Amino acid sequence: MSTSARRRLLRDFKRLQNDPPSGVTGAPMDTNIMVWQAVIFGPDDTPWEGGTFKLTLEFTEDYPNKAPSVRFLTKMFHPNIYADGQICLDILQNQWSPIYDISAILTSIQSLLCDPNPASPANSEASRLFNENRREYNRRVREIVEQSWVDE
Amino acid sequence: MSRKRSSDTPIIDASTSDSFDLSASALHTPTESQLKNRPKLRVRIKKFHGVAHWTWNCGDDDDDVCGICQSAYEGVAPGAKYPGDECPVVVGKCRHYFHLQCITTWISTRNSPTCPMCRQEWDLGVETSRDDGNN
Ligand SMILES: [Zn+2]
Ligand SMILES: [Zn+2]
């Protein structure tokens, strides 16, 4: 079945393969192009280095006029990521634009890892430690990184 | 010359009649009668294939695709069946280009229309003209 959302997702997939952004990867499920699995690698020279964080992206027929719903499957510790993996990121909410594609979404989430937005805390403990005790915050992030290797 | 049409006739059928007079006199200024009787190159065009190229006049946008559907401006936007006049490209006051169908769908989801590229208020500029390649 070809819809404009599916057609656009195929183009996103081609683009992701031909021009892969560094540190992120993703592919649709074999059975359903509307659901994608993705991995974001923790950026080097940051506490996130070495982590492999899995996400799932669910698109609706309104894509690209509506943002997909994106959720981390890997347990995270980050000021803007809820306990259930949902991400508080403006471009996935009110700052969404239909010119974004999957590469742009994944790259934005990757940069959010090291650059939290203190204005929209989703995890109050991570938020507090990030502001008040960066050493402890980094230690907790390293824990998450190590757990990400075990998560299957 | 035959006027019979068949699909594999050559596109241009040229034939010459008479023979050239290559004697020295023929190389001098021709007389009236020589002009009348000079060999003629006759060309009869039996058929031709017209190939036209067109692009939308989209300024010097560095990308050739509509940012929303990621299809070429000359391609077919979702909701349109054929490229060209049925699938026009429009420009906003901010000079950003999109397929008419694509920007219309986007705006219909918004309370206040904004350009997907620059987030400025979207205000339709003039519909772009088609550049038929003779500039
Ligand atoms: Zn378009
Ligand atoms: Zn604009």
pLDDT per residue as tens digits for the range A82-111: 999 999 999 999 999 999 999 999 999 999
The Cα B41–Cα B61 span in angstroms is 48
CA pair distance A109, A91, nearest whole angstrom? 10
Longest dimension (CA), chain B: 88
Joined tokens for residue B90: 């429009």
Q: What is the pTM of this model?
A: 0.75
Per-residue model confidence (pLDDT) at position B132: 58
Is A114 considered catalytic here? no
Q: How far is the CA of B134 from the centre of ligand 2 (A)?
A: 28
Which chain residues have CB less than 5 Å from ligand 1, an ion? B 66, 68-69, 77, 99, 102
Per-residue pLDDT at B81: 73
pLDDT at B13 over 70: no
- The residue in chain B having the minimum alpha-carbon distance to the alpha carbon of residue A98 is B68
Kindly indicate the confidence band of residue A60, based on its pLDDT and cuts at 50, 70 and 90.
Answer: very high
Q: Which residue of A has its CA nearest to B105?
A: A65
Residues B128 and A10: their CA atoms lie apart, in Å, by: 28
Range from A17-21, A39-43, A116-120, B11-15 carrying the lowest mean pLDDT: B11-15
Residue of A15, A90, A149, A67 lying closest to B109 (CA atoms): A67
Contact criterion met (CB < 8 Å) for A98 and B67 = yes
Distance of CA B44 to the CA centre of its chain: 25
Residue B6 in this model has a pLDDT that exceeds 80: no
Q: Of B109, B115, B120, which is closest to residue A65 (Cα–Cα)?
A: B109
For the segment A122-145, the average pLDDT, to the nearest whole number, is: 96
Residues with Cβ within 8 Å of residue A25, at least 6 apart in sequence:
A16, A38, A39
Ligand 1 midpoint to CA A22 (Å): 27
What value does the mean pLDDT of chain A take? 94
pLDDT digits (tens, 9 = 90+) for B72-102: 888 877 777 777 777 889 999 999 999 999 9
Closest partner residue to A8 (CB to CB) among B70, B79, B119 is B70
Span between the terminal Cα atoms of chain B, in Å: 39
Residues in the 5 Å CB sphere of ion ligand 2: B 94, 96, 115, 117-118
Percent of chain A with pLDDT over 90: 92
CB contact under 8 A, B71 and A11: yes
- In the predicted structure, residue A72 carries a pLDDT above the cut 90: yes
In this predicted structure, the answer to whether residue A121 has a pLDDT above a threshold of 60 is yes
Closest CA to A76 of A3, A129, A124, A140: A140
C-alpha B77 to ligand 2 mean position (Å): 19
Put simply, whether B75 touches A (Cβ < 8 Å) is no
Q: Is A87 in contact with A53 (CB distance < 8 Å)? A: no
DSSP state of B20: -
Q: Do A101 and B70 touch (CB under 8 A)?
A: yes
Q: What is the pLDDT of residue B74?
A: 83
Provide the greatest CA pair distance for chain A. 52
